[in-house]
Amino acid sequence: MKLGKILVTSAWPYIQHVLHLGNLLPILSADVMARYYRLKGHEVLFVSGSDVHGTPVEVEAVKQGVSPKELTDKNHELVVELFKKWAISFDNYTTTESPVHKEFVMDFHRKVAENGYVFTQESELPYCPNCKRFLPDRFVEGECPYCGYKGARGDQCEQCGRLLDPTKLIDARCSICGASPLFRRTVHWYFDLPRFSDQLREYITNNKQFPDNARNFSLRFIKEGLKPRPMTRDSDWGIPAPFEGAEGKTLYVWFENVLGYVSATIEYFKTHGDPDRWKEYWFDKDSKVLCFIGKDNIPFHTIIFPALLLATHEGYNLPWNVSTNEWLNFEGQKSSKSRKIGIWIDEALEMFPADYWRYTLMANRPETSDTNFTWKIFLEKINSDLNDTLGNFIHRTLTFINNYYDGKIPKPEKLDDIDRKMLDAISEYFKEIDENLSYFHIQAATRKVIELAREGNRYLNEKKPWKTIV
Amino acid sequence: MLEPFIPFTAKRIRKYLNLPAKLPWEDAVEPLKEGHKIKAAKPIFEKINLSEEKLQEMLEEVRSSMQKVSFKEFSKIDLRVGKIINVERVPGSKNLLKLTIDIGAANPKTAVAGIAKYYKPEELLNRQIAVVVNLEPRKIFGIESEVMILAAQHGDNVVFIQPEKPIAPGSKIR
């Protein structure tokens, strides 16, 4: 049987800071699945990259007094090294400043515009008289008109996940200087998203892989009525908007970073001397595109990205699954760099080996609701699960063979009921773990591996092979 | 079966089992052949014998040791070699000594240092020592401390930092 190709992707992290453990979840989940599919014999390509554009980076660069390019060049190098230390098995981890990406994105949007899905519209947008600039996205903060969250940003409320329009923010202020913005008229290019409502509803409803959180959020979003989305920003940092008359405007990050899944595939095959093979991943109908994201990225992956792919009329594969994790809190609180809450991926490795964290994170992967990282749980996972159960089982078994059989696997004796029960347990667990992973239930799979080791310990205690040997 | 989750550990176990680096998923439940030679195994994990509080402290220590200072910021600190030319006890304090330090400038500087428990005044006299000379002056026990001496501390053990060979007072430390 020919196994289909699988493109594994994880959301492109903004790299205004190094990532914290919560930010790592989609990347780590993608790595687990990429490794699993490779072992199963699939042809796998695992791609992602640093999202170096966008206002989070710009705001942080302004705060640090450096250019966005300086900030992101430095951080990109840093996270590339860290991902190696975490054993994230990327085939291509690139950046949104890559020439291949920029060229692909501009060509792509020219096509979307040619197909008639882009129109211009004048609107009033927040402008800071102090900083003398428009305030796109994270440059403006205020209260969310839907849920009342005080720190909502111009493009999205972190609390309720809804996409926002900066004019709707209550008590808006400039996130650099705190001034109340003026509203100035400016022209922007819009993507005609509502025209895809029916196709998207059908795609989401028929997709059997989507986890409930992604499906429910997306269907509600469509039901509330899709609106045209502005694709451009009055900002210098980003990919130039490739539309006629749009000089000086750049593309909104979410209209280019998701296209990075395609451009990173192109880049991979270009550098490997096979420039056309990327098409096998994006157009062959037995290939699958698999996205791993955190829940704040749902609408961009289930709505905007598929709509953009549809808008080319070229028959791109749409995401086969968008595996979405909930939040990982730290001792009951949201991770926050400024408030020093949480653990960052560089610090973690200074404390303990990567596998200790990988195991703890996957055994607590927040799949259906938020989970909590506590030191208590960490100690339990490492000491009881890894050390006492898994480590002990492997070590005692190998030491036993080394001590009593000169390190050679002995000839099996006649099987009794206990042996047969253990053999059954092995195939049963193996089947379950396989099944869990094929449904993206990574947390359950991780836990079952340990349970199998627990069965192994129980078996050894029951059989006491050291007694019969002497 | 461990490879997707904990690849470093899986690699070590494959080494102990004397198995090749690449094994298909299905082989996870294949029994090893009779007579297959394995290697000596060390314990796979290490137990963490720390309380939750200690782990949090450890994190904070790691965090502060990783706080990066730019070279520009670091270069603002003027570190020099000084020579202690006078030592007096500070009346009313068990911990403090008043040091007069030649830093190569026209006038010697005063440092008030909490090292009386670790050094007798005569042990310090005429010794060379590392000094921060451009710290904002502050009053300690009524005496203006103009410079700060550097010392290393490990629990109750405190030692001052001196140049490996004598060098002219005022030499810049970089």
- Alpha-carbon distance of A88 to A70, in angstroms, equals 25
Domain-terminating residue out of A342, A363, A384: A363
Domain-terminating residue out of A145, A169, A191: A191
What's the angle, vertex CA A421, arms to CA A401 and CA A364, rounded to 5? 80
Nearest CB to A395; choose among B7, B41, B47: B41
- Evaluate whether residue A379 is within a structural domain: yes
Q: What is the mean pLDDT of residues A13-40?
A: 96
Q: What is the mean pLDDT of residues A47-63?
A: 92
**B75 Cα to chain A: minimum distance (Å):** 19
One domain for residues A178 and A165 = yes
Interval A321-331: pLDDT, tens: 999 999 999 98
User: In this complex, do B7 and A356 lie within 8 Å of one another by their Cβ atoms?
Assistant: no
- Evaluate whether residue A346 is within a structural domain: yes
Place of tokens 């309720």: A160
One domain for residues A323 and A439 = no
Partners of residue B41 in chain A, C-beta under 8 Å: 394-395, 398-399, 402
- Evaluate whether residue A453 is within a structural domain: yes
- Evaluate whether residue A246 is within a structural domain: yes
**B161 Cα to chain A: minimum distance (Å):** 28
User: In this complex, do B44 and A390 lie within 8 Å of one another by their Cβ atoms?
Assistant: yes
One domain for residues A76 and A209 = yes
Interval B136-161: pLDDT, tens: 888 888 899 999 999 998 878 899 99
For residue B86, give Cα distances in angstroms to A209, B79, B83, B97, B144.
Answer: 79, 20, 9, 10, 16
In this structure, what DSSP letter does residue A144 have?
Answer: -
- Alpha-carbon distance of B52 to B71, in angstroms, equals 35
- Alpha-carbon distance of A232 to A134, in angstroms, equals 12
One domain for residues A300 and A257 = yes
Q: Is A130 at the interface with chain B, CB within 8 A?
A: no
Structure confidence at residue A469 as a pLDDT band (50, 70, 90):
low
**A84 Cα to chain B: minimum distance (Å):** 12
- A59, A16 Cβ separation under 8 angstroms: yes
- Evaluate whether residue A158 is within a structural domain: yes
- A170, A142 Cβ separation under 8 angstroms: yes
> Which tokens belong to A466?
């050291």
In this structure, what CATH number is given to the domain that contains residue A281? 3.40.50.620
Domain that holds residue A33: 6-116+196-363
**A25 Cα to chain B: minimum distance (Å):** 12
Burial group, residue A194, by CB count within 10 angstroms (0-12, 13-18, 19+)? middle
Nearest CB to B55; choose among A36, A375, A390: A375
Q: How many structural domains comprise chain A?
A: 3
Domain-terminating residue out of A322, A338, A363: A363
**A325 Cα to chain B: minimum distance (Å):** 17
In order of their start, the domains of chain B are 1-45 (no CATH), 73-160 (2.40.50.140)
Q: What value of ipTM does the predicted structure carry?
A: 0.91
Q: Is B47 at the interface with chain A, CB within 8 A?
A: yes
Contacts of residues A240-245 at CB distance under 8 Å and 24 or more positions apart, as own/partner, are A240/A106, A241/A109, A241/A189, A242/A106, A242/A107, A242/A109, A242/A110, A242/A113, A243/A109, A243/A110, A243/A113, A243/A118, A243/A189, A245/A120
* pLDDT at residue A56, rounded to an integer: 87
One domain for residues A242 and A353 = yes
In this structure, what DSSP letter does residue A160 have?
Answer: T
A339 pLDDT higher than 80:
no
User: In this complex, do A401 and B38 lie within 8 Å of one another by their Cβ atoms?
Assistant: yes
One domain for residues A380 and A394 = yes
Structural element, H or E, at residue A350: helix A345-351
Place of tokens 């990225």: A297
User: In this complex, do A35 and B4 lie within 8 Å of one another by their Cβ atoms?
Assistant: yes
- Evaluate whether residue A79 is within a structural domain: yes
- Whole-model pTM? 0.84
Partners of residue B48 in chain A, C-beta under 8 Å: 352, 379, 382-383
In the three-class reduction of DSSP (H, G, I as helix; E, B as strand; rest coil), residue A356 is classed as: helix
> Which tokens belong to A463?
């059989």
Interval B43-91: pLDDT, tens: 999 999 999 999 999 999 999 888 877 777 788 899 999 999 999 999 8
State what percent of residues in chain A have pLDDT above 90. Answer: 86
Partners of residue A410 in chain B, C-beta under 8 Å: 34
Tell me, what amino acid is at A142?
Answer: G
Which of A382-396, A416-430, B69-83 is predicted least confidently?
B69-83
Q: What is the mean pLDDT of residues A129-151?
A: 92
User: In this complex, do A353 and B8 lie within 8 Å of one another by their Cβ atoms?
Assistant: yes
In this structure, what CATH number is given to the domain that contains residue A458? 1.10.730.10
* pLDDT at residue B71, rounded to an integer: 79
Structure confidence at residue A470 as a pLDDT band (50, 70, 90):
low
- Alpha-carbon distance of B22 to A462, in angstroms, equals 33
- Alpha-carbon distance of A435 to B43, in angstroms, equals 30
User: In this complex, do B34 and A379 lie within 8 Å of one another by their Cβ atoms?
Assistant: no
**B74 Cα to chain A: minimum distance (Å):** 17
One domain for residues A210 and A124 = no
Q: Is B38 at the interface with chain A, CB within 8 A?
A: yes
Q: Is B42 at the interface with chain A, CB within 8 A?
A: yes
A448 pLDDT higher than 70:
yes
One domain for residues A47 and A180 = no
One domain for residues A75 and A123 = no
One domain for residues A312 and A447 = no
Q: Is A17 at the interface with chain B, CB within 8 A?
A: no
* pLDDT at residue A139, rounded to an integer: 92
* pLDDT at residue A325, rounded to an integer: 95
- Evaluate whether residue A369 is within a structural domain: no
> CA torsion, points A307, A136, A53, A240, in degrees to nearest 10?
70
Closest residue of chain B to A87, computed from CA coordinates? B7
- A106, A119 Cβ separation under 8 angstroms: no
Burial group, residue B78, by CB count within 10 angstroms (0-12, 13-18, 19+)? middle
One domain for residues A167 and A182 = yes
- Evaluate whether residue A1 is within a structural domain: no
One domain for residues A355 and A409 = no
Nearest CB to A362; choose among B5, B50, B65: B5
In this structure, what CATH number is given to the domain that contains residue A137? 2.170.220.10
- Alpha-carbon distance of B101 to A127, in angstroms, equals 57
Q: What is the mean pLDDT of residues A406-425?
A: 93
